[in-house]
């Protein structure tokens, strides 16, 4: 199986020498190298590699056109991310093509292996940007104006990569070609870890989103300004972070403030502005709304108490995704064929993690296969999948693609 070779080739791209974390940010160095690696690996397999109007890559086995099956994932990472989140689905898809060919399989329909841009939103702040653009889920003008930490816009970075930012936007002709999309992904949790199942099937994605909070205070001297004279934005932020945690506990949800920009960020200068991002997720929309509304109320109250102005903006929101039940059950049946009865039923798993498959699911029947992650950790260098389970994921994806790429009634 070619999985190990493909995996070893991609592994060093964007990997930091100190703790093995990944730094692959869309249109920048390592991500560009990873895209080049994909293009080369696909081309040597005789796949026809095309870049769509939004910069997503598609490697075609068969002529592009209606009735196609699509698979793939992403190659960009969160800052200091893990090796598997995204790449497992891209490497796995190429290895699955090799696996199908080694079985002598010839597809009755075309297959497109996709690499979506900016799935993590790690550079420009909006996750699944490539799939949101392709499905008309974000205003192209807004996307063009998104900026990274250095103030570079999506348009500037995309143009520097040799693509035309004026062409971005909904791509119904492309999306309309796909009858189905299946994404292979490392599990971002431990639901499979203690089972005899190397592969599980996704059931749903929690509603979730990102909100930017700007606390505007008054810059002043840390050593001479009396407490009653201060408008220190750090204090309402501190209250808000603790409120988010309490609300997450109350609603059995997830709420995290993991990114903040402090201006001017000097040890002895009370900040003029603190910008922070809330990542909130919950099993249902009502619980999510309760958490987000509660955080907003707490932030408003704390800002008022400290004479600080507050602006809150939703940067990306994703509703509950319920994957196609037919596809979910069809995949579970196919995966079950490879595991002993004694293992019990194939786990069908909800997740709090967003994916391009989730964005596509409003337009194309989609499904996801998860590969066991013994650590359960993700978005960290500690993310892990045993090579044997990675290969089991490839076999499962190949089995699924063999089924989906075969005309109804075909048995070989």
User: Contact region for ligand HGY (CB under 6 A) — 32-40, 119-127, 234-242, 332-340?
Assistant: 119-127
**Measured from the CB atom, is 185 or 251 closer to ligand HGY?**
185
From 69, 158, 353, 371, residue interacting with ligand HGY (rule: CB under 6 A): 353
* Contact predicate 298/239, CB 8 Å: yes
The answer to whether 125 contacts ligand HGY (rule: CB under 6 A) is: no
Q: How far is the CB of 345 from ligand HGY (least distance, A)?
A: 26
Other Cβ atoms less than 10 A from the Cβ of 277: the count is 16
354 binds, among Mn ion, ligand HGY, none (CB under 5 to 8 A by kind): ligand HGY
The answer to whether 187 contacts Mn ion (rule: CB under 5 A) is: no
Residue 337: CA count within 13 A, CB half-sphere: 12
* Contact predicate 58/52, CB 8 Å: yes
88 binds, among ligand HGY, Mn ion, none (CB under 5 to 8 A by kind): none
404 binds, among Mn ion, ligand HGY, none (CB under 5 to 8 A by kind): none
3-state secondary structure of 256: strand
DSSP strands (E only) in 123-272: 178-186, 199-205, 208-216, 220-221, 254-263, 269-270
From 354, 361, 366, 368, residue interacting with ligand HGY (rule: CB under 6 A): 354
From 52, 85, 148, 187, residue interacting with Mn ion (rule: CB under 5 A): 85
The size of the interface with Mn ion (CB under 5 A), counted in residues, is 2
Q: What is the gyration radius of the CA atoms in the chain, in angstroms?
A: 22
User: Contact region for Mn ion (CB under 5 A) — 85-93, 210-218, 310-318, 384-392?
Assistant: 85-93
**Measured from the CB atom, is 347 or 354 closer to ligand HGY?**
354
**Measured from the CB atom, is 31 or 85 closer to Mn ion?**
85
The answer to whether 127 contacts ligand HGY (rule: CB under 6 A) is: yes
The helix (H) or strand (E) run that includes residue 318 is strand 309-318
d(CA 229, CA 300) in angstroms, rounded, equals 20
From 52, 76, 118, 119, residue interacting with ligand HGY (rule: CB under 6 A): 119
Other Cβ atoms less than 10 A from the Cβ of 154: the count is 28
The size of the interface with ligand HGY (CB under 6 A), counted in residues, is 5
- 196 closest CA partner among 384, 345, 333, 350: 345
Q: Terminus-to-terminus CA distance in the chain, angstroms? A: 20
- 283 closest CA partner among 319, 325, 247, 332: 319
The answer to whether 390 contacts Mn ion (rule: CB under 5 A) is: no
The answer to whether 356 contacts ligand HGY (rule: CB under 6 A) is: no
The answer to whether 399 contacts ligand HGY (rule: CB under 6 A) is: no
- 109 closest CA partner among 83, 53, 81, 71: 71
**Paired strand residues for 51:** 57
**Measured from the CB atom, is 99 or 119 closer to ligand HGY?**
119
Task: Give contact residues for ligand HGY (rule: CB under 6 A).
Answer: 119-120, 127, 353-354
Task: Give contact residues for Mn ion (rule: CB under 5 A).
Answer: 85-86
């Amino acid at each position: 199986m070619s999985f190990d070779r493909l995996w070893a080739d991609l592994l060093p791209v964007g990997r930091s020498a100190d703790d093995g974390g990944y730094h692959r940010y869309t249109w920048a160095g390592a991500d560009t190298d990873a895209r080049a690696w994909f293009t080369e690996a696909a081309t040597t397999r005789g796949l026809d590699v095309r870049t769509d109007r939004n910069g997503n890559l598609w490697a075609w086995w068969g002529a592009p056109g209606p009735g196609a099956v699509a698979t793939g994932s992403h190659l960009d990472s969160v800052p200091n991310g893990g090796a598997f989140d995204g790449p497992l689905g891209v490497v796995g898809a190429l290895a699955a093509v090799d696996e199908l060919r080694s079985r002598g399989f010839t597809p009755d329909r075309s297959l497109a292996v996709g690499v979506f841009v900016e799935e993590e939103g790690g550079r420009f702040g909006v996750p699944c940007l490539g799939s949101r653009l392709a499905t008309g889920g974000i205003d192209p003008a807004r996307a063009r104006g998104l900026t990274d930490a250095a103030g570079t816009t999506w348009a500037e970075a995309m143009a520097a990569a040799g693509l035309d930012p004026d062409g971005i936007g909904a791509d119904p002709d492309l999306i309309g070609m796909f009858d189905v999309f299946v994404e292979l992904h490392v599990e971002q949790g431990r639901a499979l870890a203690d089972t005899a199942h190397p592969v599980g099937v996704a059931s749903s994605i929690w509603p979730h989103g990102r909100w930017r909070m700007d606390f505007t205070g008054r810059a002043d001297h840390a050593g001479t300004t009396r407490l009653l004279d201060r408008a220190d934005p750090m204090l309402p932020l501190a209250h808000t972070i603790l409120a988010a945690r309490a609300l997450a506990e109350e609603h059995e949800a997830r709420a995290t403030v993991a990114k903040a920009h402090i201006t001017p960020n000097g040890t002895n200068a009370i900040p003029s502005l603190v910008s922070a991002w809330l990542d909130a997720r919950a099993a249902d929309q009502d619980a999510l709304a309760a958490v987000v509304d509660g955080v907003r109320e707490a932030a408003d109250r704390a800002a008022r108490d400290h004479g600080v102005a507050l602006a809150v903006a939703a940067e990306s929101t994703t509703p509950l995704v319920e994957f196609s039940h037919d596809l979910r059950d069809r995949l579970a049946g196919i995966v079950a064929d490879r595991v002993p009865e004694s293992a019990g039923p194939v786990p069908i798993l909800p997740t709090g993690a967003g994916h391009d498959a989730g964005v596509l699911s409003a337009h194309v029947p989609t499904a996801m296969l998860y590969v066991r992650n013994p650590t359960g950790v993700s978005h960290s260098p500690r993310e892990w999948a045993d090579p044997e389970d990675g290969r089991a994921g490839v076999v499962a994806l190949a089995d699924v693609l063999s089924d989906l790429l075969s005309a109804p009634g075909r048995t070989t």
